[in-house]
Amino acid sequence: MIEKKMLIGGEWVDKEEKIEVIYPYTRKPIGRVPKGDEKDVEKAIERAKEGFKEIFSLTAYERYEILMRAAQLLKERAEEFAKTLVLEVGKTIREARTEVQRAIQTLIFSAEEAKRVNGETFPIDAHPNGKGKLGFYIRVPVGIVSAITPFNFPLNLSMHKVAPALAAGNAVILKPSERTPLTPLMLGEILLEAGVPPKALSVIPGYGDVGKAMTTHPDVRVVSFTGSRKVGDIIARQVGIKKLVLELGSNSAIILHKDGNLEKAVEKTVQGGYAIAGQVCISVQRVFVHEDLYDEFIKRLKERVSKLKVGDPMNEDTDLGPMIAPSELERIQEWISEAVQKGAKIEAGGLRCAEDETIFSPTIVSLVPEDSKLFKEEAFAPVVAVNPYKDIEEAIRWVNSSDYGLQVGVFTNDVKLAWKCIKEIEAGGVLINEGPTFRADHMPYGGVKYSGIGREGPKFAIEDYTEIKTVIFDLT
């Protein structure tokens, strides 16, 4: 049993009331953490006010050094973090190791950006009343950042919020998912050990009351939330006058045109559709295949999916592990049944695995109707919906019919067609000859429509975690 305390302004605090952490594969408890509440948030914010002064007083180089030390500490504890990720998320050990390595890179990118929080001069005398004046702006930290993260990437998504906020000179309060609080608390350990001013950092496990207190408090200047559209909508209505960054998911698509690389598209569909049991906001959920390639695509996809190894996520050769909770397996089963009732066809899977009932078998569903949940909503499960299309206009229309718009992959060797897709597809990212699940941790990442507001990637997150301060000198 892994026991952790919560972090409030640099102080490790225990409480009688606990949250149990459940291993998704066995459904047995593997950890316990204190259950935070509104009073804990209030205390964290009071300490964060002092912590902000301390971290703001550090030089850019000092913040860089702290984050680089943290990256080294994470490297030294990489396997411990990876195994803990398996236990709390249920992702495979290979997926967990990848997340740790990505988190290290996110830390390093954030450290480097601490040196590049730049301003800019502007020609104030371009205006008639600007003669004899010098104008420029600088970027200054906002103060206190509230960060709320989901269960699927508890380490790296926490890192994407906490590390850039610290790099810019802010204090941070982090609420991880109540399902996966262990690695975020371990992150708190290494950041304090690396030298982050203690009062500038809090990690508070808890439920919705903690999140509400963190997002509505008037002393919080930025709220950064990754999670469901439903909760994001609630937060957007509650936060008041403060900056808001939302990453709310998607039902990401691939378009495979008739001149595209079929084998590569199949491989990217498998990689993107079944990683972490499909519980990724840029998971491949919908695939639109030109009718000339459709039958062959289905055939090859079924062959490739049949080779996926499901089972114990701690085994080195496992490709697909459990979903996070029984309720999620029940939900996706209902969605598939609804699609089939409306005319869809199950090509592979479609049920829980007989040997491991915590695992939903990797599933392919074809001819999925536009009015089904499997087409319209975010599945967050190891299910890929495949439909044929006649022309590119039809494929683009289907992609854009979604309320979401995070990332889309397009497979084609026609530059003009690729550019048409780039211009017309409504998404935060269009990836040519790559799946929508691709992400490099320094790139601008975020969506349009109900996929959210703002961009992550350390450089771009820092834009949200800072304010522009204009400076004018009268030199007459």
Q: How far apart are CA 275 and CA 264, in angstroms?
A: 16
Q: How far is CA 470 from CA 135, 139, 475, in A?
A: 7, 9, 16
Q: Is 281 a catalytic residue?
A: yes
Q: What angle do CA 291, 252, 408 make, to 5 degrees?
A: 75
The answer to whether residues 105 and 68 touch, using CB atoms and an 8 Å cutoff, is: no
Q: How far apart are CA 241 and CA 110, in angstroms?
A: 27
Q: Which long-range contacts (CB under 8 A, 24 or more apart) does 104-107 make?
A: 104/71, 104/74, 104/75, 104/78, 105/441, 105/442, 106/156, 106/159, 106/160, 106/163, 106/441, 106/458, 107/67, 107/68, 107/70, 107/71, 107/74, 107/159, 107/163
| Sheet hosting strand 466-474, strand order edge to edge | 120-122, 133-141, 466-474
Q: How far apart are CA 414 and CA 331, in angstroms?
A: 39
Q: How far apart are CA 267 and CA 224, in angstroms?
A: 33
Question: CB 282: neighbour CB atoms within 10 A?
Answer: 25
Q: How far apart are CA 384 and CA 409, in angstroms?
A: 14
41 phi and psi angles, rounded to 5 deg: -65, -45
- For 58-167, where are the alpha helices, taking DSSP H only? 60-76, 78-89, 93-114, 156-167
The answer to whether residues 24 and 167 touch, using CB atoms and an 8 Å cutoff, is: no
Place of tokens 């350390």: 458
Q: How far apart are CA 291 and CA 213, in angstroms?
A: 52
**Residue of 113, 281, 328, 456 marked active site:** 281
**Residue of 113, 247, 347, 378 marked active site:** 247
Q: How far apart are CA 30 and CA 305, in angstroms?
A: 31
Q: How far apart are CA 91 and CA 275, in angstroms?
A: 8
Q: Is 46 a catalytic residue?
A: no
Q: How far apart are CA 333 and CA 323, in angstroms?
A: 12
Q: Which long-range contacts (CB under 8 A, 24 or more apart) does 393-398 make?
A: 395/255, 395/257, 395/288, 395/290, 396/255, 396/420, 396/421, 396/424, 396/425, 398/253, 398/286, 398/288, 398/370
Catalytic positions: 247, 281
